[in-house]
Chains A and B, each alone.
Chain A
Amino acid sequence: MSTEHAGPEVRRKSRIAGTAANAALIVYFLFSLLPIVFIIALSLKADRDQTTTYLWFAPTLDNYRTVLGLDGGGSSYVRFFLASLTTSVGAVLVSLVIGVPAAYAAARYRFKGSDNLMFTLLSFRFAPELLVIIPLAVIYRQLGLYDTAVGMIWVLQLVTMPLVVWILRSFFADFPVELEEAALLDGYSRRRAFVKVVLPLVRPGIAAVCLLAFIFAWNNFIFPFTLTSSSAQTVTVSSLAYLGGNQVRFNLVAAGAVMAALPPLVLALFIQRYLVRGLSFGAVKG
């Protein structure tokens, strides 16, 4: 690891190794960013440039205008985008309201069935989605929840709830109990101690969890794909629909995909610090 006492031969070797390592990194990141660069380029191409050019062409925003319906051609993209927004925000809010108390209880108390509850929630995360979708497709039609925002928010709990509860439990478990007890000794009730002491200090963590849950709800495809048809259809589903049909305009598909991918990418900038814990459901604390 250290080259302090190494001779010139070793030092030369380590310089070559360093160059090779940098080269390997660059190759990986070229691979990693290639589809992104490609899709952005394609989304800026006029129809005639799609199949004839790679990187040198006159960029145009016409595709974005068409997808958004700004050229007067009419488009439901904005509606799908808003449906994604409604269902994702709704799903996160429901998970938050139900999940915060449950996570707190699981972190602070030892009660019968606490582990069962936590693992049941975790198993939702790992269950094959169609296992629930198939009966829900039948049940939703009976209840009139098929193709509704409420139906989507309900089923998206499978995505957001395990995330919120597991990560928040790890935050609450790390929170020093002494601070809470001090508040209790000062005559605070449990609830006031929670609201006045615990909540302000874990707020950044809760915000990060919300963003992460929103991202996963937004990115979900299989639930809206199978349980909506038009009015609650989300932007991930409509992106695929653009690929269907007889005359596929690839540049329009690309513009739609770029816009649908944008919100999670922007939000991800704010959660870098919590990403490790979030992605591993609290199993690895970064």
Chain B
Amino acid sequence: MSVTTPSEVDHDDTPAGREEPGSRPPTVSRRRRRLRPYTLAVPAVLLCVGILYPFFVGVSYTVFNFSAANPNPAFVGLRNFAEITTSAPFWNSVRVTGSFAVTATVVETVLGVGVALLLYRGGILGKVLERALIVPLMVAPILAAIMWKLLLLPEVGWVRPLLAGLGVTDYTGTDSPLWAFIWSVVVDAWIYTPFVAIIALAGLRSLPASPFEAAAVDGAGWWFTFRRLTLPMLWPYVFVAVIFRLMDSLKMFDIIFGLTTGGPGDSTTTLQINAYLESISYARYSRGITYMVVLWAAVYLISMVLVGYLRRLQNRTAGEAT
């Protein structure tokens, strides 16, 4: 088992995989052979074009005032960007999106690594529970949101009586802004903690045994071993999960839409929810897509930084190993 970034699965180290004259049947011409990878990739490229076309059409909407009410749009330059960046709803959804993504990612990472460490200990209980780990991850997020919505409903759900048993009497479900946010994070964590745990568990199982044996011989304590050995060696694996979780929760739609529809008020209105309301509900396409272009740019920049960090992390780990 090993962690590799995509482009690290590079072809430099497998020269045998490349075209070598002489080992080919003579029936295929040299030119055709050189073109072969392109021929194989053509359908995928066409597909990309087919998807990038609406993307560029969408980006072009940002400089028009296109809406259902205004089907013959006029060029407005960067006015859409100027308008949203000076509007309170935009900054509110930036704040909500950011705090949701960061909170959910942190909670899931800590919890996921914790669950992985507990399952790694093995035992009958661990083996049985590991089987059940992926259940929430395979449930559609929208269905998970529906399940939790019902679970949280004071009339039919079990959360009110459970909390009442713990002495909580002023339970309001998702009616208050703070709790709407908290429950959204809980549902996200319910689904995706197993995602982090599964990857962390695979990482734990692939760590070399010798450093731990050496630490045990030296009489190192559990905490020392964890801080100085397990965590640094596991981090490249966990970080892959962190990237996935952060990127995904920045654009999370299903859970929040299903659970709160962005409410109460605009307390859980993320950028995607806001773009949905603007463009699908009110048919103001240009306005909605401007939100999305901003989110996309942010996601893109953040992912560049994170993937760059992952590369350095893996190079360092690889360097230490040799």
Chain A contact residues, CB within 8 Å of chain B: 1-2, 17-18, 21-22, 24-26, 28-29, 31-36, 38-39, 42, 50-51, 54, 97-99, 101-102, 104-111, 114-115, 117-124, 126-139, 154, 157-158, 161, 165-166, 169-170, 173, 177-178, 181, 184-185, 187-190, 215, 218-222, 226, 236, 239-240, 243, 250, 253-254, 257, 260-261, 264-265, 267-268, 272, 275-276, 279-286
Contacts and interface: CB of A to CB of B under 8 A. Distances in A.
23 contacts: A32-B132, A32-B136, A32-B190, A35-B190, A97-B43, A98-B47, A105-B36, A119-B6, A119-B7, A126-B299, A131-B292, A131-B296, A134-B58, A166-B6, A173-B9, A236-B142, A261-B138, A265-B139, A268-B138, A279-B137, A279-B195, A283-B4, A284-B202
A117 B299 contact: no
Given A109-B37, A131-B55, A265-B135, A169 B9 contact: yes
B7 A25 contact: no
A25 B140 contact: no
Interface in B267-322: 271-272, 275-276, 279-280, 285, 288-289, 292-293, 295-296, 299-300, 303
Interface stretch (B24-32, B76-84, B167-175): B24-32
A130 B27 CA distance: 49
Given A1-B216, A131-B293, A285-B1, A253 B40 contact: no
B51 A157 contact: yes
Contacts of A115: 7
B159 to A, nearest CB: 9
Contact of A253 (B150, B155, B195, B237): B150
Contacts of B88: none
Contact of B134 (A22, A26, A50, A275): A275
Interface residues of B, number: 113
B115 interface: yes
Contact of B251 (A105, A117, A129): A129
Given A31-B190, A102-B40, 16 more contacts: A26-B125, A35-B151, A36-B139, A42-B156, A105-B36, A123-B300, A128-B296, A135-B58, A173-B9, A221-B253, A222-B254, A261-B139, A276-B199, A276-B202, A280-B244, A286-B1
Contacts of A106: 41
A121 B7 CA distance: 13
Contacts, number: 308
Contact of A219 (B5, B141, B303): B141
A130 B288 contact: yes
A109 B198 CA distance: 32
A265 B194 CA distance: 14
A239 B143 CA distance: 7
Interface of B: 1-7, 9, 11, 14, 16-19, 23-25, 27-28, 36-38, 40-41, 43-45, 47-48, 50-52, 54-55, 57-58, 61, 111, 114-115, 118-119, 121, 123, 125-126, 129, 132-144, 146-151, 153, 155-158, 161, 190, 193-195, 198-199, 202-203, 212-213, 215-216, 222, 225, 237, 240-241, 244, 247-248, 250-251, 253-254, 258, 271-272, 275-276, 279-280, 285, 288-289, 292-293, 295-296, 299-300, 303
